[in-house]
Amino acid sequence: MATIISIDPRVSRMNLDAEQSAPLEPKPELDQFQTFEVFHQAKTGAHHTHVGCVHAPNHELALLLAKEQYGRRGQTTNLWVVNTRDVFTMSAEDADIFATTPEKKYRDVGAYMVRNKVEAFKKQSQEGTTE
User: What is the per-residue pLDDT across 57-81, written as a single tens digit (0 to 9) for each?
Assistant: 999 999 999 999 998 888 899 999 9
Q: Per-residue confidence at 101, pLDDT binned at 50, 70, 90?
A: low
Higher-pLDDT residue of 105 and 123 is 123
Q: How far apart are CA 72 and CA 103, in angstroms?
A: 42
Q: If residue 61 lies in a helix (H) or strand (E), which one and from where to where?
A: helix 59-70
The residues that bridge with 81 in the sheet, in sequence order, are: 38
Q: How far apart are CA 17 and CA 119, in angstroms?
A: 80
Position 1 scores a pLDDT of 59
Does 14 score more than 60 pLDDT?
Answer: yes
Domains of the chain: 30-90+104-130 (3.10.20.520)
SS3 57: coil
Q: Is the pTM of this model over 0.75?
A: no
Which of 37, 8, 42, 3 is CA-nearest to residue 20?
3
